Amino acid sequence: MTIRMMLAASVAVACLGGTALADTASKKIALSNNYAGNSWRQAMLTSWDKITKDTVSKKIVAAADPFTTAENQATEQAAQIQNMILQGYDAIVINAASPTALNGAIKEACDAGITVVSFDGIVTEPCAWRIAVDFKAMGESQIEYLSKKLPKGGNLLEIRGLAGVSVDDQIHAGIQAGVAKYPQFKVVGSVNGDWAQDVAQRAVAGILPSLPEIAAVVTQGGDGYGAAQAFAAAKRPTPTIVMGNREDELVWWKQQKDKDKYETMSVSIAPGVSTLAFWVAQQILDGKDVKKDLVVPFLRIDQDNLEENLKNTQKGGVANVEYSLEDAQKVISAAK
């Protein structure tokens, strides 16, 4: 059954029940994205483009236009949202630069009758919907894994993401919670990698000379391969580096696994979460009752399924899941 047939069926069922749903064929949805400077964000935008072009062509919605700010600045993104209000969009899907700094602009959108759905970088404004991975649990899972692989513990280097973004704060909080639970580990250094391997490589190279022996590197995604390159350039032993589902990381991991049975894990949110946010917005516009807070699982890769995931990951991309209307309906139902 096609997506359009599924929509038609849902409308027919609703009408039989005496409640007709709103038609979204004339509705316009915009994506407000605060940053595009790494492979995850590029994959996120590619997934959005792939899914939404199909829905526009099938007249499920009238438009699904993506916009990305030039800099990761809340003031610029707030202005972008205000422009979307003036342009008459019916819904705004947003990956936010700040959980709080955009609340004023988002409230303006809500007051204008616009549906706002935040994902990945979520917002706290009560009128908006939120689609989140449990990023704290994602950070804590890294220490859980290391506690089994390295039961004696050791020194950790933490590579954080973009400073000031809620995702970075939450993953960091999870890592801190994990270290508190397993005190045999100690974070002896921390740098910001901005979720980009080149930035991470420079940052790690800069701090390595001041660090003692490192047992493992805990990360946020997009930084694992850069960390590995920095350790190699410094001629230091390669620690266990937690990866973030990027293709370059998975390729490097496979090479090390084949060479000397190198073991690690990889975890991240799927870039295709943007497509889930799109469908959630469409369902809200279609009159569905949707809880304000929705949770999706993070995507984890382990030693035994590395090859399968690598085979299905686009070169230069990120291991990914793209969501269908049916997937969104399941997430919405689960929240109830």
Lowest model confidence (mean pLDDT) among 18-27, 79-88, 151-160, 292-301:
18-27
The answer to whether residue 309 sits within a structural domain is no
Judged against a pLDDT cut of 60, whether residue 47 lies above it is answered with yes
Q: Is residue 158 part of a domain?
A: yes
Position 18 scores a pLDDT of: 31
What is the average pLDDT across 173-202? 97
Q: What is the rounded average pLDDT of the residues 255-284?
A: 97
How confident is the model over 208-255, as pLDDT tens digits?
999 999 999 999 999 999 999 999 999 999 999 999 999 999 999 999
Tokens of 194: 């901005």
pLDDT exceeds cutoff 70 at 316: yes
Token representation of residue 33: 């994205």
The average pLDDT across 69-97 equals: 95
Residue 292 resides in a domain: yes
Residue 295 covered by a domain = yes
Q: 8 falls in which pLDDT band (50, 70, 90)?
A: very low
Considering the entire predicted model, what is its pTM? Answer: 0.81
Torsions phi, psi for 68 (to 5 deg): -125, 135
Question: Domain for residue 148, yes or no?
Answer: yes
Residue 22 has pLDDT above 80, yes or no: no
Give yes or no for residue 3 having a pLDDT over 80: no
What are the beta bridge partners of residue 185? 154
DSSP letters, 132-157, are E--HHHHHHHHHHHHHHH-TT-EEEE
Residues with Cβ within 8 Å of 274's Cβ and at least 6 positions away in sequence, in order, are: 31, 44, 45, 47, 48, 93, 95, 119, 120
> What single-letter amino acid sits at 118?
S
pLDDT exceeds 90 at position 71:
no
Residues 174 and 260 reside in one and the same domain: yes
**Inter-residue contact 179 to 142 (CB < 8 Å):** no
Same domain as 264, residue 141: yes
Beta pairing, strands 129-132 & 293-295: parallel
**Strand arrangement, sheet containing 129-132:** 63-68, 28-33, 91-95, 115-119, 129-132, 293-295
SS3 at position 112: coil
The tens digit of pLDDT for each residue in 84-111 reads 999 999 999 999 999 999 999 999 999 9
**Residues 147, 97 share a domain:** no
**Per-residue model confidence as pLDDT tens digits over 116-173:** 999 999 999 999 999 988 899 999 999 999 999 999 999 999 999 999 888 899 999 9
Q: Give a yes or no: residue 310 inside a domain.
A: no
Tokens of residue 304, six digits: 């035994």
SS3 string of 189-224?
Answer: EEEECCCCHHHHHHHHHHHHHHCCCCCEEECCCCCH
- Cβ-based burial of 131 (10 A; exposed 0-12, middle 13-18, buried ≥19): buried
Q: Cα–Cα distances in Å, from 173 out to 32, 53, 158, 187, 220?
A: 26, 37, 12, 13, 12
| Range 13-27 average pLDDT | 56
Res 268 pLDDT > 50: yes
| Percent of the chain residues topping a pLDDT of 90 | 86
- Shared domain check, 87 and 69: yes
- How big is the chain, counted in residues? 336
Mean pLDDT of all residues in 201-212: 98
How far, CA to CA in Å, does 167 sit from each of 64, 96, 161, 312? 25, 10, 8, 26
Average of pLDDT values for 249-271? Answer: 97
Same domain? For 83 and 229 the reply is no
Within-domain flag for 312: no
Q: How many domains does the chain have?
A: 2
- Do 71 and 147 belong together in one domain? no
Q: Where are the alpha helices (DSSP H) in the chain?
A: 3-16, 39-57, 74-86, 103-111, 135-149, 166-181, 197-207, 224-233, 247-260, 273-285, 306-311, 325-335
Q: In terms of domains, do 180 and 248 share one?
A: yes
Specify whether 259 is located in the same domain as 275: no
Compute the distance between CA of residue 189 and CA of residue 207 in angstroms, rounded to an integer.
Answer: 8
Task: For residue 306, tell me if it sits in a domain.
Answer: no
Residues 150 and 120 in one domain: no
Tell me: do 243 and 288 sit in the same domain: no
Structural contact between residues 126 and 292, judged by C-beta atoms closer than 8 angstroms: yes
**97 and 160: one domain?**
no
- The C-alpha atoms of residue 114 and residue 187 are separated, in whole angstroms, by 44
Q: What is the 8-class DSSP label of residue 83?
A: H
What average pLDDT does the structure give for the chain?
A: 92
Kindly tell me if the per-residue pLDDT of 334 is higher than 80.
yes
List, in order, residues 6 or more apart from 191 with CB less than 8 Å away: 157, 158, 159, 160, 200, 203, 204, 206, 207
Percentage of residues of the chain with pLDDT beyond 70? 93
Q: Judge if 283 and 250 occupy the same domain.
A: no
CATH code where residue 249 lies:
3.40.50.2300
Predicted confidence band at 197 (pLDDT cuts at 50, 70, 90)?
A: very high
Domain interval for residue 215: 135-268
